[in-house]
């Protein structure tokens, strides 16, 4: 194990994508439960927001570098300047619908960006092997990925296991699958000490409101339609983001090099049920509704399905539970309640991220959905 969980100062963790939803939860958790120094490299795309990090709490242990992981020179400078012990690579384009509307950025960041980072990490690690063999021995590159690389589990009771063959359906999941393959190849061919984790759908505070749960909470709060794709019977396996962040730190520090760990919360729920539960929670937590709304659930609107939509994801997380002793601490009930309350309480953060670019996306994507719906009808 690398030591920083036990409080040894001097370990430096380089997080990519640390201004995003999960990356910021990782940075906050590293700040809270370890004494590691943290360098956060993020391009600050539409999905990145530095306010999510809460860096003021870190007592001088935190550095932010605004840079693109596809920029090899910038990445080299970061590695040379900060000499990381551990890399936790989360930077990615992450939204399936955007990958359908425009795949290029997904190929660029998820595949080319991961390749760039692997090459820079390899050069750095090989150099360490000559100058500081002990540090080279402890070095780890943890690549954070998704269960969507495994494809669709519809029509079976099976779960995704670490050995499940890859069968990605969307440009997003295909680009993540490509990046996972690169990471495995760099481990096997060059010996780079890598680890991979594949996690199910996350939810919780600071998630950009283009994803199902925050979108539904905020639309309902504002009395807008709740757009459920197709019949809403698709199943996702939900994990509270802070549980994921703790699992990632466990993998990065205690996982076995070369291994893959599946992470999930054992919470299989249909999309329609998720939306209905959000509506029920809002009835309790936000009883004063927008004008014209009798019940939040009346806002549920079935819209055109997502092309290539995977019908079911579900994770077997027994390996990380057994080998690394990680278990989630939130149930879907407790986590969803906290999440709804957080979005109700944090209007300023929501205001800050829902810029013109966000409004353009909503207009374009759901505007088109509305047209499809009218044509279907
Ligand atoms: P996110 O979209 O909220 O955040 C991504 C972050 O990466 C943003 O801060 C963005 O600015 C940054 N970024 C994007 N392109 C970059 C580039 N070229 N260079 C540097 N930074 C860049 O994503 P998320 O939901 O936090 O997901 C983080 C990681 O976890 C991703 O790799 C994703 O595939 C994976 N994952 C997500 C989920 C989920 O449910 N959200 C589940 C499993 C795995
Ligand atoms: P999403 O949050 O985009 O995550 P992912 O596609 O990575 O699973 O979507 C979760 C599920 O919710 C997915 O089955 C698509 C569905 N969905 C809707 O029904 N309506 C929406 O407006 C959105 C954004 C998603």
In CATH, what number is assigned to the domain containing residue 120? 3.40.50.720
Q: What's the gap in Å between 212 CA and the centre of ligand 2?
A: 5
Number of alpha carbons in the 13 Å side-chain half-sphere of residue 47:
20
For residue 357, give both structure tokens.
């670019």
Q: What is the pLDDT of residues 20-54, one digit of tens each?
A: 999 999 999 999 999 999 999 999 999 999 999 98
Specify the pLDDT at position 370: 52
Considering the chain, what is the average pLDDT of its residues?
93
Q: What is the pLDDT of residues 180-196, one digit of tens each?
A: 999 999 999 999 999 99
Specify the pLDDT at position 20: 97
Say yes or no: CB of residue 263 within 6 Å of ligand 1.
no
Specify the pLDDT at position 57: 75
Q: Catalytic positions, please?
A: 147-148, 172
pLDDT at 371 > cutoff 70: no
Ligand 2 atom nearest 97 alpha carbon: 3
Does a structural domain hold residue 66?
Answer: yes
CB-based pocket (< 6 A), ligand 2: 96, 201, 211-212, 215, 227-229, 234, 236, 271, 306
Q: What is the pLDDT of residues 260-318, one digit of tens each?
A: 999 999 999 999 999 999 999 999 999 999 999 999 999 999 999 999 999 999 999 99
Task: Return the residue matching tokens 């879907």.
Answer: 332
Say yes or no: CB of residue 92 within 6 Å of ligand 1.
yes
Specify the pLDDT at position 147: 98
Average pLDDT over every residue of 109-123 = 98
Does a structural domain hold residue 308?
Answer: no
Does a structural domain hold residue 343?
Answer: no
pLDDT at 206 > cutoff 60: yes
For residue 51, give both structure tokens.
């306010």
Domain ranges, residue 113: 12-204+240-266+314-330+356-366
Does a structural domain hold residue 337?
Answer: no
Average pLDDT over every residue of 212-232 = 98
Does a structural domain hold residue 197?
Answer: yes
Specify the pLDDT at position 160: 97
Cα(184)–Cα(116) distance, rounded to whole angstroms? Answer: 15
Q: Which residue is closest in CA terms to ligand 1's atom 37?
A: 146
Say yes or no: CB of residue 176 within 6 Å of ligand 1.
yes
pLDDT at 133 > cutoff 70: yes
Counting ligands in written order, the one closest to the CA of 27 is 1
pLDDT at 358 > cutoff 80: no
For the ranges 137-141, 258-262, 333-337, 369-373, which has the lowest average pLDDT?
369-373
Q: Is the model's pTM score more than 0.75? A: yes
Does a structural domain hold residue 227?
Answer: no
Question: What is the greatest pairwise CA distance in the chain?
Answer: 70
pLDDT at 376 > cutoff 70: no
Does a structural domain hold residue 342?
Answer: no
Grade residue 374 by pLDDT with cuts at 50, 70 and 90. very low
Does a structural domain hold residue 224?
Answer: no
Grade residue 359 by pLDDT with cuts at 50, 70 and 90. confident
pLDDT at 375 > cutoff 50: no
**Domains identified in the chain, total number:** 1
């Amino acid at each position: 194990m690398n030591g920083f969980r036990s409080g040894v100062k001097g370990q430096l963790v380089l997080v990519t994508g640390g201004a995003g939803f999960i990356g910021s939860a990782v940075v906050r958790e590293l700040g809270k439960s370890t004494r590691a120094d943290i360098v956060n490299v993020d391009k600050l795309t539409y999905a990145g927001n530095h306010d999510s990090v809460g860096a003021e709490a870190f007592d001088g242990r935190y550095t932010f570098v605004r840079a693109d992981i596809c920029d090899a020179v910038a990445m080299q400078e970061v590695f040379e300047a900060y000499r990381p012990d551990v890399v936790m690579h989360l930077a990615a384009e992450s939204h399936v619908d955007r990958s359908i509307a425009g795949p290029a950025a997904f190929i660029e960041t998820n595949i080319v960006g991961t390749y760039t980072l692997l090459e820079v990490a390899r050069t750095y690690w090989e150099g360490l092997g000559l100058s500081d063999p002990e540090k080279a021995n402890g070095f780890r590159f943890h690549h954070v990925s998704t269960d969507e690389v495994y494809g669709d589990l519809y029509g079976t009771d099976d779960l995704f296991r670490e050995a499940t063959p890859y069968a990605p359906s969307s440009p997003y999941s295909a680009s993540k699958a490509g990046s996972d393959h690169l990471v495995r190849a760099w481990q096997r061919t060059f010996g780079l000490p890598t680890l991979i984790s594949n996690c199910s759908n996350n939810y919780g505070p600071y998630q950009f409101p283009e994803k199902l749960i925050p979108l539904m909470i905020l639309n309902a709060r504002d009395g807008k339609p709740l757009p459920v794709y197709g019949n809403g019977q698709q199943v996702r396996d939900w994990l509270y983001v802070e549980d994921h962040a703790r699992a990632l730190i466990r993998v990065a520090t205690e996982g076995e090099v070369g291994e893959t760990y599946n992470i999930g919360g054992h919470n299989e729920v249909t999309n329609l049920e998720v939306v209905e539960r959000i509506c029920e929670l809002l009835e309790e937590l936000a009883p004063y509704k927008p004008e014209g709304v009798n019940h939040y659930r009346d806002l549920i609107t079935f819209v055109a399905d997502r092309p290539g939509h995977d019908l079911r994801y579900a994770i077997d997380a027994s390996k990380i539970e057994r080998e690394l002793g990680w278990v989630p601490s939130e149930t879907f009930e407790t986590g969803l309640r906290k999440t709804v309350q957080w979005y109700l309480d944090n209007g300023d953060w929501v205001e800050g991220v829902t810029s013109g670019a966000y409004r353009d996306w909503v207009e374009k994507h759901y505007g088109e959905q509305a047209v499809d719906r009218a044509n279907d009808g």
